[in-house]
Amino acid sequence: MIMKISYPGGKKVNAEFDGFIIKTDQPKNSGGDSTAPGPFSIFLSSIGTCAGFYVLRFCQERNIPIDNIKLILKTNKNNKTDMIEKIFININLPTTFPDNYKKAVIKAVNLCAVKKHLEKPPTFEVSVKKQTI
């Protein structure tokens, strides 16, 4: 995947790929306009939505209604390092959800590609290239 990062003004930074534009901004207390989520919020939302997709797919494959299923993502942050130490994903199931699938739906969430990449992160290589005009 190739993603183009652009700067539309202020503290805004956009990511463009596959015909989509993901817009980010910083909160007002960081000099932004608060017009879009910050990059870190989008990072966290990718974990939640990926987990949600696997629950959705699990339920759809078994004809289980998803109307009253909710996922709640919470984080614990280390106050000294300001880094997240633990991410909790709580799957709130309705009473009608079949008991025999409760462990299986947890296994489905553990298949989330974003979660797997955090468990075995890629390496990063950052370089600089001057543009020729």
- Taking residues 55-82, what's their average pLDDT? 97
Domain ranges of the chain: 1-36, 38-119
Topology given in CATH for the domain delimited by 38-119: GMP Synthetase; Chain A, domain 3 (3.30.300)
Among candidate residues 79, 81, 74, 69, the one with its CA nearest the CA of residue 106: 69
Residue 94: CA count within 13 A, CB half-sphere: 9
Q: Is the pLDDT of residue 5 over 90?
A: yes
- pLDDT tens-digit readout, 84-102: 999 999 999 999 999 999 9
Residue 112 burial (CB count, 10 A): 22
- Taking residues 95-118, what's their average pLDDT? 96
Among candidate residues 57, 49, 42, 67, the one with its CA nearest the CA of residue 107: 57
Q: What's residue 132's pLDDT?
A: 83
